[in-house]
Structure 1
Amino acid sequence: MKTINENDFSRVDLNLIIVLLVMFEVRSVTLAAKRLYLGQPAVSAALKRAREMFNDRLFVRTSQGMTPTPRAEQLVQQFAPLMRDLHQMIFSPMSFDPQSDNRTFRIGMSDWLEQWLMPDLLTELAVAAPNSKVKVVAADPWNAIPLMEQQQADVVVTVGDEISQDLTREKIVRAGFRTLWSPQQIAVNKLTLAQFVRFDHALVSYRGASESALDHELQRLGKTRHVRYVTPHFSSLPVLLKQLPLFATVPQGLISSWRARYNLQAAPVPVNMPDYELSLLWHNAQHDDPAQRWLRDRLRALLVEKAR
């Protein structure tokens, strides 16, 4: 493909191409002027400039009107589809038809959010957007901002308050934590603080820390817990709880499915724990994209429904 020389376009006027196309259709300066809502002198002047630009007479006056030259016929044949495409690109707004369009949505989230949200979201998309695909991008509260600044995802579902001038954060819902354990491993019916600190704990930490806000609250009360296992993944916890006498304090969104699937027991955390707030995070450059607005609407509604 020949490289485009931008300087070649400095003498090109698209209005002259419009005059060429209309003249080719009506074969008359007078009729072209009426079609273009211009005076005859203006069309004659434009035709003169077009002749200079293409170095060809373009139209010759005959008894049949303004007859195009072979060069004019060639130009019209080449320009007509290009101008139709250009008109469509300029004047047709971006749109998204979820029933027919084929889009791959990149959604950033951590593993617990994927467990919590994706089965319902995929079920909805199978009907509402049957040709769309979803790619989950691993995102935790620590890497959500740089990930979105680099536009490695279309939207991130995350917690936290960090902001960036390049991004929009929309806070959607608040929710809390619950403590889980296996009744076969820990014979506790009503969880007390004494029982909570008596047994070992599993902790999810995206950066490998052995303490969390929960430990700081315990320290304020003069208590400590023993964290036996630290992992960046929530998905390993249910199996561990089934096999070991461990407590795990997790987002409440996981409680219902884990209790049903793994026969676990749950209770409120026996110390004050701040709620987490789930947000949608997206790049400002993608704010008005119809497909991504549609996706954010679906995620927003799903988060509200699931957090009830």
Structure 2
Amino acid sequence: MKYMSMFDKIDLHLIRVLHTVLTERSVSRAALRLGMYQPAVSAALKRLRELAGDPLLVRSGSGMVPTVAGLRMIEPAADILRSAEVLFSDARSFDPATARHRFSLAASDYLDPLFLPQLVAQIKSQAPHCLIDIHPLSRDSDYRNHLAQGDVDVVIGNWSQPPEDLHLGRLFGDEVVCLVSQQHPAARRGWDVEAWLGAEHIAPTPTHPGARGFIDDHLAALGLARNITARCPHFGLIPAMVAGSLLVLTTGRQYCDRFTGVLPVKVLPSPVEFPRMMYYQLWHERTHAAKAGRWLREQIKSVAASLKRPDADH
């Protein structure tokens, strides 16, 4: 109750006067900066002194200086004013050049390996004061809940059937191929379905217990199962594992093609026909109309388009 009665006596305008008086160290200069009459600023300062139980600003020679209590209030007052501005600014407009916003997204690393680096570079070049948090789509992630609670703004990944309770934007489709070492027997003589199923496969660690993923879901629908002998939660490390072994990675061509020039690997067609892998960005209704959220989704879409192979959607 004590704090409630204090809140009843303080409004945002009073905090603004407090911060301006303490930083200008002058009632007259504060009045000019605030566009107020000096007696009104003096009256507000009197209220502030009564609330604080401290003079806040005292005379020193020909000028004025904040008291110890006044000095302690400068930064908290600034924080309150910044928070109040952020509270409503995103609803009105979003200027990336000046915005101080925190973007949070969860992304699958099955995407083109250049996607996240280029997205971060583009965001930082256009919105230099914004913060970026990138979260993995791990086996422990409940992305629906994270989106609903505001922990994450956007989720990026591939789904054969994206959830219907979220907004979605299609990024690109990709052909399913296989990545093998240049020393793999199939790199020289090819393979059929039986040889491919019997080969040693490496696959990402499931996002949650029982999850099969896009490749194995399709195989199960055909009554087939491949021989997975290795799993790794870090998709970006798998091509190097493939390069030094007889393991087979089956995923999108756009991802695999990025490694053929830097590792001794080769892209082979899959002997099993797969539908195209479809990549989406998902977001919740709570951020659907937000200007900052809309801007972020536009950046994601433009980066995906810039990295897309010319034939990736055909």
TM-score category of the 2 structures, normalised to the smaller one: 0.5 to 0.7
Change in 2 beyond 3 A, CA 1:215/1:72: closer
Partner of 1:202: 202
Partner of 1:74: 43
Q: Does 1:193 align with 2:193?
A: yes
How much has 1:267 moved relative to structure 2?
1.9
Partner of 2:56: none
Change in 2 beyond 3 A, CA 1:77/1:146: same
Q: Is the 8 A contact 1:180 1:249 kept in 2?
A: yes
How much has 1:284 moved relative to structure 2?
1.8
How much has 1:241 moved relative to structure 2?
0.9
Partner of 1:249: 250
Aligned residue pairs, count: 242
Q: Is the 8 A contact 2:106 2:135 kept in 1?
A: yes
Change in 2 beyond 3 A, CA 1:124/1:210: closer
Q: Which of 102, 120, 123 pairs up with 1:122?
A: 120
Q: C-alpha separation between the residues in 1 aligned to 2:242 and 2:96?
A: 41
Q: Is the 8 A contact 1:208 1:230 kept in 2?
A: no
Q: Deviations over 1:83-105 (max 9, x none)?
A: xx99xx98996222222223221
Compare CA radii of gyration and give the structure with the larger one.
1
TM-score, with length taken from structure 1: 0.64
Q: C-alpha separation between the residues in 1 aligned to 2:180 and 2:213?
A: 19
Q: Which of 84, 92, 103 pairs up with 2:101?
A: 103
Q: Deviations over 1:250-286 (max 9, x none)?
A: 2233112222221210122211212232222222222
Partner of 2:285: 284
Runs of 4+ in 1 over 4 A off after TM superposition: 70-73, 75-79, 89-93, 208-224
Change in 2 beyond 3 A, CA 1:140/1:274: farther
How much has 1:210 moved relative to structure 2?
8.8
Aligned partner letter, 1:117: F
Q: C-alpha separation between the residues in 2 aligned to 1:226 and 1:172?
A: 31
Root mean square deviation of aligned Cα: 4.0
Aligned partner letter, 2:144: I
Q: Deviations over 1:30-58 (max 9, x none)?
A: xxxxxxxxxxxxxxxxxxxxxxxxxxxxx
Aligned partner letter, 2:4: I
How much has 1:288 moved relative to structure 2?
2.4
Change in 2 beyond 3 A, CA 1:163/1:140: farther
Q: Any stretches of 5+ residues in structure 1 without a counterpart?
A: 10-69, 80-84
Q: C-alpha separation between the residues in 2 aligned to 1:199 and 1:74?
A: 82
Q: Deviations over 1:132-169 (max 9, x none)?
A: 232101225973212212221111112331133xx422
Q: C-alpha separation between the residues in 2 aligned to 1:296 and 1:212?
A: 25
Change in 2 beyond 3 A, CA 1:96/1:213: closer
Aligned partner letter, 1:144: Y
Percent same amino acid at aligned positions?
A: 21
TM-score, with length taken from structure 2: 0.63
Partner of 1:226: 227
Q: Deviations over 1:43-81 (max 9, x none)?
A: xxxxxxxxxxxxxxxxxxxxxxxxxxx9998369979xx
How much has 1:208 moved relative to structure 2?
5.5
Q: Is the 8 A contact 1:181 1:245 kept in 2?
A: yes
Q: C-alpha separation between the residues in 2 aligned to 1:210 and 1:156?
A: 18
Q: C-alpha separation between the residues in 1 aligned to 2:280 and 2:155?
A: 8
Change in 2 beyond 3 A, CA 1:138/1:93: closer
Aligned partner letter, 1:175: D
